[in-house]
């Protein structure tokens, strides 16, 4: 599965959220935050059985800019989600759910204007 999301981050953005859900569970929660205690951070997590897992926060860069366009690609492999932003690989997030076929919904929220959402099945 390859998901492409493109749009523009709002000028006064505080966060954006991209969730891939499997029923009530979140297989992948991707949450760039523009000002968390004066820092920019991208929180990644999952929620299984109404319980959040351990947050992953460590990253060398924050590729999103307020008021600027972006293109993000999320590739689902057998072992992980791979995320690229503006043509550059950003991170991996290892799967925490076992049934990848249960992922049914994509939710994109908060401070952005979407111009493209595309889902492709990879061979």
pLDDT in tens, 49-59: 999 999 999 99
Give the domains, in start order, of the chain with CATH numbers: 2-120 (2.60.120.200)
Report pLDDT digits (tens) over 7-30: 999 999 999 999 999 999 999 999
Give the confidence band of 98 by pLDDT, cuts at 50, 70, 90. confident
C-beta neighbour count of 55 within 10 angstroms: 13
In degrees and rounded to multiples of 5, residue 61 shows phi and psi of -140, 165
Cβ 112 vs Cβ 68: under 8 Å: no
What span, in angstroms and rounded, lies between the C-alpha atoms of 1 and 123? 9
Cβ 57 vs Cβ 33: under 8 Å: no
What span, in angstroms and rounded, lies between the C-alpha atoms of 93 and 108? 18
Report pLDDT digits (tens) over 27-79: 999 999 999 999 999 999 999 999 999 999 999 899 999 999 999 999 999 99
């Amino acid at each position: 599965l390859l998901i492409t999301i493109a749009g523009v981050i709002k000028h006064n953005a505080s966060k954006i959220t991209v969730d891939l859900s499997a029923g009530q569970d979140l297989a992948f929660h991707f949450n760039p935050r523009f000002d968390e205690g004066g820092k920019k951070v991208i929180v990644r997590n999952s929620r299984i059985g109404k319980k959040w897992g351990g947050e992953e926060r460590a990253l060398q860069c924050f590729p999103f800019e307020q008021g600027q366009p972006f293109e993000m690609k999320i590739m689902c492999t057998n072992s992980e989600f791979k995320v690229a932003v503006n043509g550059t690989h950003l991170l991996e997030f290892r799967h925490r759910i076992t049934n990848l076929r249960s992922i049914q919904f994509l939710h994109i929220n908060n401070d952005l204007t979407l111009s493209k959402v595309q889902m492709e099945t990879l061979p």
